[in-house]
């Protein structure tokens, strides 16, 4: 009975300045809620011969896999603009699991008990939010957007104290690493240049080996991370995803989406959309995601100043110039992404105007972001009176003219659009409905939603109920606790 774990724990071998060695706190009565068998297969893990009872022990941390070396990672972060020393307050890293000897994945338990970083928290997580992370992270993966993944959720058999007593749970999170901007902030704040060099080198070896021998590794790292983050946020903007809590501790150096707390997908197009109940000033609203990414990258750049150049003024100058490139890099990527959404080949000077006209029209008419692009792709199921609006019909004429430029044809454009525009996203009311039933031990809705979200670019039959927004315009999310 071998599962196939191959742990090689490089992060836990770093000095104690980076982590605390700690085991998960055992739980009372763990029960397996869901196991991601497809992901397990991708990880060369085989759980098929293991009983549900044993699986519950494994994914609760009551029994630790051979070769693991459990730690809580230290990090800091700007939370809504305020700097705080943080760290894994309710998570432990089991270690790095190797797939085919070369692909390395962090395996982490979220909700696994107190650590020295817990501050006043209980170290635990609640079932609803962990299932929410599971379904939304898997949806983001299916949308071809880099993200941490979810391997399993167990319930702990213990109650967790929140506004009332709620069922406890542990999520097994899989990530290419958990190194965050906040990890650099933590090390930089300690002002130990050796540790900073260690972290830079470790990160490059793990994520960006192509710059191992470059002249200014720290600067190259900054540029590569900026590139990755731009790409990530462009992807979020493509599908209408609002992360909701883009604190620097929730920004992974790998460029993966991480930390699914108050995130949600936008229904009707409104750049000011905010779902998180605590984001009162819209710091992390839909259209603020790119400037906040730049802000976070500037915090990352600050950490790297001592290793970019020995001359501090020179280092600041170089780092500032780099960060000031953000706008150009982002805009170009965004424009190309929107061209894909509209099926445009090549470039035309009118593109930006056509795109902005559509966005403005959508905003004024409260048109659904996802469904408007589906409508353009001839999705018959998406009929709506607003698409008969004269302004929209005029816009469509311009759009069709543009499509035919650069050897385009409607058919070729539709193919491009089909790979760019999802027909289904995790609609907020559908996610809530699934979680509500799951809380009552009924996973039917959850599994159905999960299976629909697995193929968001396919022309699935009978998915109308998953395509329409809820009539509730006041949807709110809460930090996943």
Residue 12 contact among ligand AMP, Mg ion, none, beta carbon within 5 to 8 Å by kind? none
Give the integer Cα–Cα distance in Å for 254 and 6. Answer: 21
Give the integer Cα–Cα distance in Å for 469 and 460. Answer: 18
Smallest CA-to-CA distance from 239 within 220, 276, 267 is with 267
- Pick between residue 259 and residue 309 the one whose CB is nearest to Mg ion: 259
Stretch that binds ligand AMP, among 85-93, 147-155, 296-304, 455-463 (CB under 6 A): 85-93
Which residue in 249, 259, 279, 368 is the catalytic one? 249
Smallest distance from Mg ion to CB 236, Å: 17
Q: Would you count residue 278 as binding ligand AMP (CB under 6 A)? A: no
Q: Would you count residue 259 as binding Mg ion (CB under 5 A)? A: yes
Residue 123 contact among ligand AMP, Mg ion, none, beta carbon within 5 to 8 Å by kind? ligand AMP
Q: Are 8 and 93 in contact (CB under 8 A)?
A: no
Smallest distance from ligand AMP to CB 75, Å: 7
Q: Would you count residue 90 as binding ligand AMP (CB under 6 A)? A: yes
Helix (H) or strand (E) holding 292: helix 289-308
Smallest CA-to-CA distance from 171 within 143, 146, 205, 136 is with 136
Long-range contacts of 389-392 (CB under 8 A, 24+ apart): 389/361, 389/365, 391/361, 392/361, 392/365
Task: Identify the bridge partners of residue 150 per DSSP, sorted by sequence position.
Answer: 173
Among 121, 410, 458, 476, binds ligand AMP (CB under 6 A): 121
Cα distances (Å, whole numbers) of residue 355 to 186, 336, 382, 460: 41, 11, 20, 27
Q: What is the DSSP letter of 267?
A: S
Give the integer Cα–Cα distance in Å for 64 and 171. Answer: 15
Smallest distance from ligand AMP to CB 259, Å: 5
- Pick between residue 123 and residue 426 the one whose CB is nearest to ligand AMP: 123
The three-point CA angle 16-177-14 to 5° equals: 20
Please classify residue 79 by burial: count the beta carbons closer than 10 Å to its beta carbon, then call 0-12 exposed, 13-18 middle and 19+ buried. middle
Q: Would you count residue 185 as binding Mg ion (CB under 5 A)? A: no
Stretch that binds ligand AMP, among 43-51, 97-105, 122-130, 323-331 (CB under 6 A): 122-130
Q: Are 159 and 122 in contact (CB under 8 A)?
A: no
**Token pair listed for 197:** 């060099």
Smallest distance from Mg ion to CB 201, Å: 25
Smallest distance from Mg ion to CB 133, Å: 11
Among 69, 118, 223, 325, binds ligand AMP (CB under 6 A): 118
Q: Is residue 340 among the annotated active site residues?
A: no
Q: Would you count residue 256 as binding Mg ion (CB under 5 A)? A: no
Q: Would you count residue 439 as binding ligand AMP (CB under 6 A)? A: no
In the block, residue with structure tokens 């659009």: 417
Per-residue b/e over 190-220, b at no fewer than 16 CB within 10 Å? eeeeebbebbbebbbebbbeebeeeebbbbb
Stretch that binds ligand AMP, among 8-16, 115-123, 404-412, 445-453 (CB under 6 A): 115-123
Give the integer Cα–Cα distance in Å for 240 and 271. Answer: 10
Among 65, 89, 271, 291, binds ligand AMP (CB under 6 A): 89
- Pick between residue 106 and residue 259 the one whose CB is nearest to Mg ion: 259
Task: Identify the bridge partners of residue 83 per DSSP, sorted by sequence position.
Answer: 78
Please classify residue 28 by burial: count the beta carbons closer than 10 Å to its beta carbon, then call 0-12 exposed, 13-18 middle and 19+ buried. exposed
Give the integer Cα–Cα distance in Å for 68 and 105. Answer: 12
- Pick between residue 246 and residue 453 the one whose CB is nearest to ligand AMP: 246
Residue 172 contact among ligand AMP, Mg ion, none, beta carbon within 5 to 8 Å by kind? none
Smallest distance from ligand AMP to CB 110, Å: 8
Among 78, 124, 180, 299, binds ligand AMP (CB under 6 A): 124
- Pick between residue 197 and residue 481 the one whose CB is nearest to ligand AMP: 481
Per-residue mark of binding to ligand AMP, 224-263 (x: CB under 6 A): -------------------------xx--------x-x--
Q: Would you count residue 250 as binding Mg ion (CB under 5 A)? A: yes
Give the integer Cα–Cα distance in Å for 354 and 360. Answer: 10
Active site residues: 249
Residues that bind Mg ion (CB under 5 A): 250, 259
Residues that bind ligand AMP (CB under 6 A): 86-90, 117-118, 121-124, 249-250, 259, 261, 479, 481
């Amino acid at each position: 009975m071998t599962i196939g774990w191959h742990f090689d724990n490089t992060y836990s071998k770093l000095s104690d300045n980076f982590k605390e060695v700690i085991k998960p706190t055992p739980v009372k009565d763990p029960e397996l809620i869901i196991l991601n068998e497809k992901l397990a297969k991708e990880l060369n893990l085989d759980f098929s011969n293991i009983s549900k009872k044993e699986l519950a022990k494994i994914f609760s941390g009551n029994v630790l896999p051979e070769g693991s070396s459990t730690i809580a990672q230290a990090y800091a972060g700007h939370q809504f603009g305020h700097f705080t020393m943080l760290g894994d307050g309710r998570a432990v890293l089991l270690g790095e699991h190797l797939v085919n000897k070369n692909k390395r994945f962090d395996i982490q338990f979220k909700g696994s008990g107190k650590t020295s970083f817990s501050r006043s928290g209980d170290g635990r997580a609640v079932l609803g939010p962990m299932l929410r992370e599971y379904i939304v992270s898997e949806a983001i993966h299916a949308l071809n957007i880099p993200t941490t993944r979810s391997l399993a959720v167990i319930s702990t058999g213990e109650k967790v104290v929140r506004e009332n007593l709620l069922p406890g749970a542990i999520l097994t999170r899989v990530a290419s690493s958990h190194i965050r901007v906040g990890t650099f902030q933590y090390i930089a704040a300690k002002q130990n240049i050796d540790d900073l060099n260690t972290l830079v080198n470790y990160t490059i070896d793990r994520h960006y080996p192509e710059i191992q021998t470059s002249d200014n590794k720290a600067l190259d790292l900054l540029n590569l991370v900026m590139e990755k983050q731009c790409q990530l946020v462009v992807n979020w903007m493509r599908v209408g995803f609002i992360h909701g809590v883009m604190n620097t501790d929730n920004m992974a150096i790998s460029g993966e989406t991480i930390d699914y707390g108050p995130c949600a997908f936008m229904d009707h197009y409104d750049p000011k959309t905010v779902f998180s109940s605590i984001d009162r000033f819209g710091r992390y609203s839909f259209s603020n995601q790119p400037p906040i990414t730049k802000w976070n990258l500037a915090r990352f750049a600050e950490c790297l100043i001592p290793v970019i150049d020995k001359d501090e003024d020179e280092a600041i100058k170089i780092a500032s110039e780099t960060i000031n490139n953000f706008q150009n890099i982002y805009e170009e990527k965004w424009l190309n992404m929107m061209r894909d959404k509209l099926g445009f080949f090549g470039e035309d000077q009118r593109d930006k105007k056509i795109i902005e006209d559509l966005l403005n029209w959508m905003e004024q008419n409260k048109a659904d972001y996802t469904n408007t692009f589906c409508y353009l792709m001839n999705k018959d199921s998406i009929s709506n009176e607003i698409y008969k609006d004269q302004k929209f019909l005029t816009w469509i004429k311009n759009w069709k003219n543009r499509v035919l430029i650069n050897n385009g044809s409607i058919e070729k454009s539709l193919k491009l659009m089909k790979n760019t525009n999802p027909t289904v996203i995790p609609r907020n009311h559908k996610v809530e409905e699934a979680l509500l039933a799951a809380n009552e031990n009924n996973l039917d809705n959850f599994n159905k939603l999960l299976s629909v979200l697995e193929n968001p670019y396919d022309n699935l039959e009978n998915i109308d109920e998953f395509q329409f927004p809820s009539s509730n315009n006041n949807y709110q999310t809460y930090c996943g606790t």
